[in-house]
Amino acid sequence: MATVLITGTSTGIGQATAIHLARKGYSVIATMRNPDGYPELAQISKEEDLGIRILPLDVNSAESVSEAFLKAGPVDVLINNAGIGHVGPIEEAPLDQVQAVMETNYLGALRCIQAALPSMRERREGTIINITSVAGRLASPAHGIYAASKFALEAASEALAAEVVQFGVRVAVVEPGVIATPIFGKAAEPETPTHYPHARRMKALFEASLENPVSPFVVAEKIEEILQNGADQFRYPAGPDAAPLIAWRNGISDKDWIASGGLDDKAWVSEMKATFGLNIQLD
Give catalytic residues, as residue numbers.
146
Q: What are φ and ψ of residue 95, in 5° steps?
A: -65, -25
Judge contact between 121 and 74, C-beta under 8 A. no
End-to-end CA distance of the chain: 50
On the 0-12 / 13-18 / 19+ scale of CB atoms within 10 A, 255 is exposed
Q: What residues contact 66, with CB distance under 8 A and at least 6 apart?
A: 115
Element (H, E) at 259: helix 254-260
Q: How far apart are CA 86 and CA 114, in angstroms?
A: 26
CA angle 205, 207, 213 (to 5 degrees): 115
CA angle 140, 17, 173 (to 5 degrees): 45
Q: How far apart are CA 204 and CA 75, in angstroms?
A: 41
3-class DSSP state of 125:
coil
Q: What residues contact 33, with CB distance under 8 A and at least 6 apart?
A: 10, 56, 57, 58, 59, 82
